[in-house]
Protein backbone atom coordinates (compact mmCIF):
# COMPACT_ATOMS: atom_id res chain seq x y z
CA UNK A 1 0.00 0.00 0.00
CA UNK A 2 0.99 3.64 -0.43
CA UNK A 3 1.08 6.37 2.22
CA UNK A 4 1.93 10.03 2.08
CA UNK A 5 4.20 11.33 4.79
CA UNK A 6 5.87 14.64 5.27
CA UNK A 7 9.34 13.70 6.53
CA UNK A 8 11.65 16.51 7.61
CA UNK A 9 9.62 19.01 5.55
CA UNK A 10 9.65 16.92 2.38
CA UNK A 11 6.51 15.24 1.05
CA UNK A 12 7.09 11.59 0.33
CA UNK A 13 4.90 8.94 -1.25
CA UNK A 14 6.03 5.64 0.22
CA UNK A 15 5.25 2.02 -0.58
CA UNK A 16 4.76 0.10 2.68
CA UNK A 17 3.42 -3.18 4.01
CA UNK A 18 0.22 -2.79 6.02
CA UNK A 19 1.80 -4.08 9.23
CA UNK A 20 4.96 -2.02 8.93
CA UNK A 21 6.03 0.17 11.84
CA UNK A 22 7.14 3.75 11.34
CA UNK A 23 10.59 2.68 12.55
CA UNK A 24 10.82 0.12 9.74
CA UNK A 25 9.50 2.57 7.16
CA UNK A 26 11.99 5.25 8.16
CA UNK A 27 14.99 2.92 8.24
CA UNK A 28 13.94 1.30 4.94
CA UNK A 29 13.95 4.79 3.44
CA UNK A 30 17.45 5.54 4.67
CA UNK A 31 16.64 7.53 7.81
CA UNK A 32 19.18 5.39 9.64
CA UNK A 33 19.72 7.83 12.48
CA UNK A 34 16.52 6.38 13.93
CA UNK A 35 17.71 3.40 15.99
CA UNK A 36 16.05 0.24 17.27
CA UNK A 37 17.00 -0.59 20.86
CA UNK A 38 14.11 -2.79 21.96
CA UNK A 39 11.14 -2.83 19.59
CA UNK A 40 8.76 -2.65 22.54
CA UNK A 41 8.56 1.09 23.13
CA UNK A 42 10.64 0.93 26.30
CA UNK A 43 13.97 2.54 25.38
CA UNK A 44 13.46 5.69 23.27
CA UNK A 45 16.21 4.97 20.74
CA UNK A 46 13.66 5.18 17.91
CA UNK A 47 12.03 8.44 18.98
CA UNK A 48 10.80 10.74 16.24
CA UNK A 49 8.49 13.72 16.31
CA UNK A 50 5.04 12.87 14.96
CA UNK A 51 3.35 16.19 14.25
CA UNK A 52 4.37 17.85 17.54
CA UNK A 53 4.94 14.96 19.92
CA UNK A 54 7.88 12.66 20.50
CA UNK A 55 6.79 9.06 19.83
CA UNK A 56 8.55 5.71 19.80
CA UNK A 57 8.42 4.97 16.09
CA UNK A 58 8.52 1.20 16.79
CA UNK A 59 5.04 1.55 18.30
CA UNK A 60 3.41 3.43 15.41
CA UNK A 61 1.96 1.65 12.38
CA UNK A 62 2.89 3.68 9.33
CA UNK A 63 -0.48 2.95 7.74
CA UNK A 64 -2.18 4.75 10.62
CA UNK A 65 -0.46 8.11 10.03
CA UNK A 66 -1.15 8.71 6.35
CA UNK A 67 -0.80 12.39 5.58
CA UNK A 68 0.94 13.33 8.83
CA UNK A 69 4.34 14.93 9.50
CA UNK A 70 7.38 13.23 10.91
CA UNK A 71 10.64 14.80 12.03
CA UNK A 72 13.61 12.47 12.46
CA UNK A 73 17.06 13.16 13.87
CA UNK A 74 18.16 13.92 10.31
CA UNK A 75 15.70 16.83 10.32
CA UNK A 76 17.00 18.39 13.56
CA UNK A 77 20.55 19.26 12.64
CA UNK A 78 23.47 18.16 10.50
CA UNK A 79 27.23 17.92 10.83
CA UNK A 80 27.53 21.35 9.17
CA UNK A 81 24.56 22.87 10.94
CA UNK A 82 24.03 21.06 14.21
CA UNK A 83 21.20 22.10 16.50
CA UNK A 84 22.44 23.73 19.69
CA UNK A 85 21.15 20.75 21.69
CA UNK A 86 23.50 18.56 19.68
CA UNK A 87 26.36 21.02 20.15
CA UNK A 88 25.82 21.17 23.89
CA UNK A 89 25.59 17.38 24.26
CA UNK A 90 28.92 17.13 22.41
CA UNK A 91 30.53 19.81 24.59
CA UNK A 92 29.26 18.25 27.80
CA UNK A 93 30.76 14.85 26.92
CA UNK A 94 27.26 13.39 26.87
CA UNK A 95 27.81 11.15 23.85
CA UNK A 96 29.46 7.82 24.53
CA UNK A 97 28.32 5.00 22.25
CA UNK A 98 25.79 7.40 20.77
CA UNK A 99 23.15 4.79 20.04
CA UNK A 100 20.64 6.47 22.33
CA UNK A 101 21.72 10.02 21.45
CA UNK A 102 19.35 10.67 18.51
CA UNK A 103 16.44 9.73 20.79
CA UNK A 104 17.76 11.95 23.57
CA UNK A 105 18.04 14.86 21.11
CA UNK A 106 14.44 14.30 19.98
CA UNK A 107 13.20 14.29 23.61
CA UNK A 108 15.09 17.45 24.46
CA UNK A 109 14.07 19.19 21.23
CA UNK A 110 10.39 18.39 21.82
CA UNK A 111 10.63 19.60 25.41
CA UNK A 112 12.28 22.89 24.46
CA UNK A 113 9.72 23.52 21.71
CA UNK A 114 6.99 23.42 24.32
CA UNK A 115 8.82 24.80 27.32
CA UNK A 116 11.64 27.27 26.75
CA UNK A 117 12.68 27.33 30.39
CA UNK A 118 12.23 23.89 31.93
CA UNK A 119 13.25 23.10 35.49
CA UNK A 120 15.75 20.32 36.17
CA UNK A 121 12.87 18.04 37.16
CA UNK A 122 11.01 18.85 33.97
CA UNK A 123 14.10 17.93 31.95
CA UNK A 124 14.42 14.64 33.83
CA UNK A 125 10.73 13.91 33.29
CA UNK A 126 11.07 14.63 29.57
CA UNK A 127 13.90 12.08 29.37
CA UNK A 128 12.03 9.41 31.34
CA UNK A 129 11.42 7.40 28.17
CA UNK A 130 15.08 7.35 27.09
CA UNK A 131 17.43 4.63 28.25
CA UNK A 132 21.18 5.20 28.17
CA UNK A 133 23.52 2.57 29.57
CA UNK A 134 26.82 4.40 28.96
CA UNK A 135 26.69 7.83 30.53
CA UNK A 136 24.73 7.56 33.76
CA UNK A 137 22.79 10.56 32.42
CA UNK A 138 24.84 13.15 34.34
CA UNK A 139 26.45 14.71 31.28
CA UNK A 140 23.28 14.38 29.21
CA UNK A 141 21.49 16.51 31.81
CA UNK A 142 24.43 18.95 31.87
CA UNK A 143 24.28 19.30 28.09
CA UNK A 144 20.55 19.91 27.97
CA UNK A 145 20.73 22.44 30.81
CA UNK A 146 23.44 24.29 28.88
CA UNK A 147 21.26 24.22 25.78
CA UNK A 148 18.41 25.73 27.79
CA UNK A 149 20.72 28.49 29.00
CA UNK A 150 21.85 29.25 25.47
CA UNK A 151 18.30 29.33 24.20
CA UNK A 152 17.12 31.69 26.91
CA UNK A 153 20.12 33.97 26.29
CA UNK A 154 19.08 34.32 22.65
From 7-15, 63-71, 109-117, 136-144, give the range in contact with other proteins by CB under 8 A.
Answer: 136-144
**Which listed residue (4, 12, 113, 124) binds other proteins by CB under 8 A?**
124
Nearer to other proteins, 5 or 101 (CB): 101
Which of 149, 56, 52 lies closest to 109 in space, CA to CA?
A: 52
Q: Determine, following the binding rule CB under 8 A, whether residue 33 of this chain makes contact with other proteins.
A: yes
Q: How far apart are CA 92 and CA 102, in angstroms?
A: 16
Q: Determine, following the binding rule CB under 8 A, whether residue 8 of this chain makes contact with other proteins.
A: no
Instruction: Tell me how many residues contact other proteins (CB under 8 A).
Output: 56
Which of 96, 6, 19 lies closest to 51 in space, CA to CA?
A: 6
CA–CA–CA angle 86, 90, 6 (5° rounding): 20
Binding letters toward other proteins, positions 35-74, x by CB under 8 A: xxxxxx-xx-x--------------------------xxx
User: What are the start-end ranges of the E strands in the chain?
Assistant: 2-7, 10-15, 47-50, 53-56, 69-71
**Which listed residue (86, 109, 111, 118) binds other proteins by CB under 8 A?**
86
φ/ψ of residue 129, rounded to 5 = -95, 5
Q: In which element (H, E) is residue 25 found? A: helix 22-28
**Interface contacts to other proteins, rule CB under 8 A:** 31-40, 42-43, 45, 72-74, 76-79, 82, 86-87, 89-102, 105, 123-125, 127-141
Amino acid sequence: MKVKLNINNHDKLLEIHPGETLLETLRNNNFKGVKCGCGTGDCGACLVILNEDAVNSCQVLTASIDGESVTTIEGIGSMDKPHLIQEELVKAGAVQCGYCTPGIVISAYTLLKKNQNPTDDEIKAALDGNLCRCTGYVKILDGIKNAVKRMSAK
